[in-house]
Structure formats: structure tokens, C-alpha cells
Chains A and B, each alone.
Chain A
Amino acid sequence: MKLERGRTAVQEMGRGALALEETGEFETKLMRINVGPQHPSTHGVLRLVVDLDGERIVRLTPQVGYLHTGFEKTMENRTYQQVVTYSNRMDYAHSFGHDLAYVLSAEQLVDAKVPERAQRVRVLLTELNRMASHLLFLGTGILDMGALTLFFYTMRERERILQLFEMVTGVRMNYGYFRVGGLSYDLPEGFEDKARAFLDDFPKMVEQYADMFAKNDIFVNRTKGVGVIPPEVAIANGLTGPSLRASGIALDQRKAAPYSGYEDYDFDVPTSTAGDANARIMMRFAEFEQSMKICRQALDRLEPGPIKDPDRRISLPPRRELETSMEAVIFHFKLVTEGFHPPRAESYVATESARGELGYHLVSDGGSMPYRVKIRVPSLVNLQSLEATCVGGLFADMVVNIASIDPVMGDVDK
């Protein structure tokens, strides 16, 4: 079974027929197929070079970089507060997760004291965004299998969440709402009621179509037993997040190293032992419940209070003070133009994004811009498991496998 050049198709067929007589197997020529970077089922600009033996995949090489944006280099030329506007544009499906990971890491550098309310709001928004990200994943994932209807259902819920975010931040995506040391401004009036109303509606909405996943013959047959990743292979390939938990390893940074007050919340880490595409996709449904639990608890504990670190060297003074206090104006000017100067150190806080472990490794040289930003993105590392899931399987299953690992190309290419 070698890729031999210079033979015609007829010669190949003749050779195959001879082999059939000798060994009982029809010998075929390998075919190399290019998938992407512009392809509807690769979730963005992922490119795959696939060697096929008939319908079976023999070799698969992901080619990434078609959305390389130079985030790390650009962030090294921005002040610490300006970086927040960049971080959320990387993983556009789970923006708040990226914002949170960055501000936590920067706060570790400057040792900021984030008030209770800010932490609750951060957790609330991040979990809501996790749900939105999973909804997008479910909708586009099943779209790849040909089920168009479910896409409209999941997008309907996502629209509700986006409207909540729009109420808070003014934009539907790419929020930039968290700041080093707290939040940009407080939640608007009436947000809590709307969020509660959504959390009450959400299970009913999901109920309408959960069976269309769980009991849908086409979906189940196409995902059950497809792309199995054994736990040891998953660990060896660096897989994290829901995909790793579907392989039976309960590694969740929210539990393993709680940040932002996650230690106070009561939630479980759902796992599954199947490790196939079905388990990975249904894992998102299990995560919905946990996210809703966390959101409810965060809403219950939301109490009025400050939303920023009072330290004037990190956070901007309130607007009304600028009219009366010269000192406030000076601090404001200094922060906006120059930014703050963290001490020389390196920081890293591991967080759990919707796709896996996410963290910003910041190196400070004492200046107002980070010396080095290294982002540990989950999608890029998770993509390495694609080879383990696809090789030996059918070509059509590749689409399912890509969908089940849930790569976001902005997150992959940085």
C-alpha cells in the first residue's frame, strides 16, 4: 500500500486485481486530498491534508496558521489595560474566558485585590459565555452532520445570551468588559432579573431539542464509537477540557486550582468513560447544568459593593471625582497614557475555558507593557488529538471528529 508515482489508473487497477488473487485483498492506490482552508465543515480556516485508502484515512496532517494574527507580538506593544481589548478577540466564542484568564494573570503580577462583587460578576458572565460557546458548538457540530434545524434552535438560545451581554457591555461579541483590578463599570439595572428569567427558560428551551441529539438515530449512529480517544492517548496528546473529561479524566481547573472564587461554588465535574465523539458532544449538555448551577449561585450571592480595586495605581478613579479632585485627574491621566508598572516577575494563572486549559504567561520587565505574553491556548493543543481520532476511520467521520474536538481557529492560530 504505497503511494507510487508514474502509474496509470488502469495499471493500478490491474495491480490491485493481481493482489486480490494472491492475498485476497484488493490493493489500492493512496489518494491525497486537501480539505480547507476554505471548507464549511472545518470550523474556520483549518486545513487538513489527508491520505486516503479508499474511504479509510491513512494519514492526516493538520495545517494551521491561516488566521495567524500576531496577538502575542501586538500585546507586547500595548499597555496592560489595553491588552484586554485584544484578548477577547482570540477565542471569539468564549471571549469572557480569555478576558478572565488575562486579567487574573495581570492581577497576579500587580497583586490586585479584586472586590467580591467583581469576582461574582466575572464568574456569572464567564459561565453564561461558556453556555453560549457550547451552544455554538452544538449547532455547528450537528450542522456538519447535515441537521440544519438544530442549528436554528441553538442559535435562538445563544441570541438570548448575547442580548444579556449586550445589556451589560453594549456589544454582542468581543466585550472587553473586565479590567485589571475589577470591572469596567457596574451591571446595568434589571440585568439580574433578565438573567434569572433566562436561566429559568433555558432548561425548557433545551428540553425541546435535547432528544433530537440523544435519540436521533442518524446522530447516534454517526457519533457512537467514532473517534475514540483512550485516556492515556488523550493525556499524551495534551488534550484538556470537556474533550478530556469525555475520556474519563476529571481534570477541571475550576476544581483543581480554583480561581476567581470558584472554590465557593457548589458544582460537579461531569465525566464520561466512552471517550468517543458522542461522549464529547453530550458532555456539553452535562456542562450546561453545571454552568446554570454556578450562574444561579453567583446571582444569589451578588451583593452591592465596589467593583474595582481601590488602588489608584491600577484602576481608574470614578468619573465624578474627576470634576472635583486634581489628584484624581493626574492619576487618570497617568493610567490612560502610561499605564501601570508591575514589578519584574512572571505570572501564569490556569483557567478553564470552554475548550480546555487556558492561561496567559506574562513576563514583566518593570515597564508599562508586558515584556512577553505567551498564551496557552487549548484549541491548538487539542487539535493534535485529531490524528489519533481520525486515522483508520472513515473520511466522513473526520468531519464529526473535528466538530467534537471543538477548535476555534482564532484560538488555534493566535
Chain B
Amino acid sequence: MSAGTADRAGAKVAALAEALVHLGAERADQLSGAILVVPRAAIHQAAATAREHGFDLLLDVFAIDWLTYPGHGGPRFSVSYHVHAVAANERCSLRVQLDDGDALPTVTDVWPAAAFMEREVYDLFGVVFEGHPDLRKLVTPEDLEGHPLRKDFPLGESPTLFNDGRFLDPATFRAGMIGASQGRTGWIGGARKGVLSAAIEADGKGGDA
């Protein structure tokens, strides 16, 4: 086990957590590092506070769709702001929970680096960031409807067709592999080649040999 980032939350993060308590922040640490869960209304203020506490490098803004997470209650999305304090070499995440349709204030005025990251979240999850200078799709084509990384957006696999008429639906096949369903492959035009020829041989009719 290599040294991870879990132990990179020290005095700075503790001070930030302390400063955010009056905003209603709670600490919910994970293996990934310290996470401060902030109420949605207070996220911009929390971001500004973090910036004042020396967390000057915004590493990432990302969302998680909890729609199909087993046992998850509460708002559907969470958006995390992963920040790093360069001078102190400490890092933590600010996390905010929100429902579908809720908007977040942009943090591009706190960290200009958020411009692309927020656009990416908007593109892939449909979370709107109010006040963003240029909130457009980032990676998906203009004509793609929906937000691909939402859990209710299909992966969009096309079935694999083999020369002998067998076809394979990847999702069903995979579900079979992990035990979620009986894995099966489909056939176009009746039975499998070998099985069919064996049946004909047993009948004694036909057969090309």
C-alpha cells in the first residue's frame, strides 16, 4: 500500500473546517481525503473562505450522480471542489449536495481554473452554474441531447454481430458475467451452426459430406 492522499489533511484543513462550521459544514472524510460537506446556499462563501485559507490551486470540480447508488437517500447529485494548498501541501474537497434542477453559483471568480471544469460538469451532468461567463457544452457534440454521465443515460452500445449469425448484446452479456442475470447470446436464424448440423446428421437426411 503506497502512501495515498488520505493523510494530506492537517492543520490547514482543520482550520478551514473550523471556519466553515458556522456555515453548517460537516466533515465526512473518505479514503480519497478530507471532505467538507457544505450546504448548497453557502458554497460560494465556503469557496471564498477556502481561498483565503490558502487553498489556491483548484484541482478539479466534478459531480457524482447518486441515482442508482444502493441505499442512498437525499439529493440526487453532489458536486465536489477538490482544492490544494500549494504552500502548505494540504488538500481537501468541498462537497455540496443538490437535486436535479438545482443551480449552483459559479466559483470562477474565486478560482479562474473552474471555467472548464464547471462547463464539463454542466455538459455531462446538466448542473447549471449561475454566473459562469461562458456556460456551454464542453466535450459532447452540440446535437447530443441529454447528459451522458447521468445514471439514466444509456451507455449506447450496439450489439456485436458475428458472421455465423450469432449476435451478442454487450450489456446483457456483462450482466451475465457478474451474476446479475443469466448471460445469454442471441441467434439470428435459428439454432447454432454446430448444433444444427449434428441434428441433421442424427436425422439421417441432408448433410453435405
Contacts and interface: CB of A to CB of B under 8 A. Distances in A.
B209 interface: no
Interface of A: 61, 64-65, 68, 70, 72-74, 77, 79, 104, 107-109, 111-114, 119, 235-238, 240, 249, 251, 256-261, 263, 337-339, 345-350, 357, 359, 361, 363, 365-369, 371-372, 374, 376, 380-381, 383-384, 413-414
Given A65-B141, A348-B32, A357-B59, A257 B115 contact: no
Given A347-B4, A349-B4, A383-B116, A79 B139 contact: no
A104 B4 contact: yes
Given A347-B31, A371-B69, A376-B59, A108 B4 contact: yes
Contacts of A414: 139
A104 B30 CA distance: 15
Interface residues of B, number: 48
Interface in B3-17: 3-6, 8
Contacts of A104: 2, 4
Given A339-B178, A372-B64, A263 B3 contact: yes
A131 to B, nearest CB: 22
A374 B62 contact: yes
A361 B62 contact: yes
Nearest to A104: B2
Contacts of A70: 148, 155
Interface of B: 1-6, 8, 30-33, 56-60, 62, 64-65, 69-70, 82, 86, 89, 91, 111-113, 115-117, 120, 124, 134, 137-141, 148-149, 153, 155, 171, 174, 177-179
A74 B156 CA distance: 10
12 contacts: A73-B153, A236-B112, A257-B3, A259-B3, A261-B2, A263-B3, A347-B4, A347-B30, A359-B59, A361-B82, A372-B64, A380-B120
B107 to A, nearest CB: 12
